[in-house]
Amino acid sequence: MSPSTSVTAFREALKQSKNIIAVAGAGLSAASGIPTFRGAGGYWKKYNAMSLATPEAFEENPSLVWQFYHYRRMKALSSRPNAAHVAISMISFPDFLREIAPEAKFTFITQNVDGLSARALKEVAAKAGKEPSQAVPFYEMHGRILDLICTSCGRRSTNQDEAPLCPALAATGALPTDPNTLSGVDTEEVADIPLEELPRCEDCGGLLRPGVVWFGETPLHMEQIDGVVAQADMCLVVGTSSTVYPAASYASEVAENGGKVAVFNLERTEGDSDADFLFLGPCEQTLPEALF
Ligand code: BJW
Ligand code: ZN
């Protein structure tokens, strides 16, 4: 059966829900000016994911990987949350959620690393005269681009004050846009920053890496996420191509357990096969419209 596009039917289903989850991806932040990975203009259209987003890539060419993340870090810092982040933040406060789903708990799971959901939560809290801590916790399962992990001592820290993180990265321009340039071999156009000039640990002097989850690594908060997905009876799938696991499997798990799935995306995706509701269009419009 094809999914419903009725806002009224969606709101009715939401009202009946007891455990709502939202699983978000890069499309959530697209309206904030942050490129997606696989859409038009997405990173993986231009760059080879395996040369940039794996531990092996970092080991082989930390200078190249750091330049990619430097560019993304600067982009995240200069972007602002959009209406879709705000809508999700609103329902993260139990008394706002009660108005649309009186008996429900809500949990937000995001694959995004840009930190915009945390910033939206602070903005919503400030406007409503609340503390961000009054909202339910949310899970950034692929880490945070502003976090740093020391490859020697393992220390994890957040640095949102230094941008760029070091003079050598400040001196690099935007990454080249030739898709072949970063596919592994020909990296001539990219500055070759010596290891000692890349970001280093304040404690032990070790090489720092971005605090994100690369392919082949275990996503964060798995125990908590597995628990809430197993309990969920409504799954909102927002701006993700549903191609990267384990997040790609959450909607089908909810559907298999008898729950409802509502997809918010610009276009049809892998996630649609389980959708009871489908809202095609920019989520910064469709999500607030459907929720409130
Ligand atoms: C809009 C919009 C608008 C645009 N409004 N919509 C074979 C089978 C199963 C699994 C595997 C397999 N082979 C390998 C794996 C595992 C692998 C994997 O899934 N690979 C696939 C490619 C097949 N997964 C992993 O390795 C993960 N780890 C793992 O599985 O560990 C094992 C384990 C599991 C469970 C428990 C314990 C252990 C780790 C995955 C790490 C992914 N890392 C990245 C980079 C993060 C750092 C960084 O940011 O650089 O995460 S890759 C990239 O993809 C990033 C994203 O979070 C992730 C998902 O992408 P997303 O968000 O869906 O973006 P897009 O661009 O794909 O889609 C955007 C969507 O938005 C599009 O649909 C647009 O239409 C839409 N859109 N504008 C609404 N305005
Ligand atoms: Zn260290």
Residue with tokens 């082949």: 216
Measured from the Cα of 215, ligand 1's closest atom is 26
The catalytic residue among 70, 85, 142, 221 is 142
Order of strands, edge to edge, in the sheet holding 156-158? Answer: 156-158, 143-150, 208-212
52 lines ligand 1 (CB under 6 A): no
- In the reported structure, the alpha carbon of residue 203 is separated from the centroid of ligand 2 by a whole-number distance in angstroms of 5
Q: Could you read off the pLDDT of 13-48 as tens digits, one per residue?
A: 999 999 999 999 999 999 999 999 987 777 777 777
153 is in an annotated binding site: yes
Q: Could you read off the pLDDT of 49-80 as tens digits, one per residue?
A: 777 899 999 999 999 999 989 989 999 999 99
What's the DSSP call for residue 213? P
What integer pLDDT is reported at residue 179 of this predicted model?
42
CA–CA dist 220, 150 (Å, integer): 17
- In the reported structure, the alpha carbon of residue 156 is separated from the centroid of ligand 2 by a whole-number distance in angstroms of 9
Q: For 114, phi and psi rounded to 5 degrees?
A: -80, -10
- Which ligand lies nearest to the CA atom of residue 154 in the structure? 2
159 is in an annotated binding site: no
Percent of the chain with pLDDT over 70: 93
The whole-model pTM stands at 0.95
Q: Could you read off the pLDDT of 144-153 as tens digits, one per residue?
A: 999 999 999 9
What integer pLDDT is reported at residue 188 of this predicted model?
57
ipTM for the whole predicted complex goes beyond 0.85: yes
